[in-house]
């Protein structure tokens, strides 16, 4: 299973970035917490519009199964949903903490966007 986390830094102790589309990084982890890939999201961070869609595409292309994040807008959700990526929202703390919560199944999966656009 490939788990993506929106993050403000490049390692497990970095804070989770609550914004999905405009997150600074995406860390792709395996369930044991091994970092398989670090993706810089700099082009989307400053995008006027469509950041969530492009970020969704990146994760779809990377064949991610689950996303752990804070907020996810409608367009991003549509893109992630089309890729079959499950979206856990309203997470905070560090990347490690988010992963632990996910493993304890102590997360809330979004059935739809949990914010209006611009995230």
Cβ proximity to another protein, 51 vs 98, nearer residue:
51
> Does 75 participate in binding another protein (rule CB under 8 A)?
yes
Closer residue to another protein (CB): 34 or 48: 48
Q: How many CB atoms are located within 10 Å of the residue 94 CB?
A: 18
Q: What share of the chain is helix, strand, coil (3-state, %, to 5)?
A: 30, 25, 45
3-class secondary-structure state, position 33:
coil
Q: Give the bridge partners for 19, in sequence order.
A: 71
24-63 mask for another protein (x: CB under 8 A)?
A: -----------------------x-xxx-xx-xx--x---
Asked if 94 interacts with another protein (CB under 8 A), we say no
Half-sphere exposure of 110 (CA within 13 A, CB side): 26
Which residues sit at the interface with another protein, rule CB under 8 A?
47, 49-51, 53-54, 56-57, 60, 75, 78-79, 82-84
């Amino acid at each position: 299973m490939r788990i993506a986390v929106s993050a403000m830094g490049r390692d497990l102790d970095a804070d989770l970035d609550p914004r999905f589309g405009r997150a600074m990084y995406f860390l792709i982890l395996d369930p044991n917490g091994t970092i398989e890939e670090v993706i810089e999201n700099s082009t989307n961070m400053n995008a006027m519009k469509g950041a969530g869609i492009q970020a969704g595409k990146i994760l779809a292309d990377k064949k991610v199964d689950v996303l752990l994040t804070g907020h996810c807008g409608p367009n991003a959700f549509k893109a992630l949903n089309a890729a079959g990526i499950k979206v856990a929202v309203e997470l905070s703390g560090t990347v490690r903490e988010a992963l632990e919560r996910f493993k304890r199944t102590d997360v809330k999966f979004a059935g739809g966007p949990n914010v209006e656009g611009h995230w």
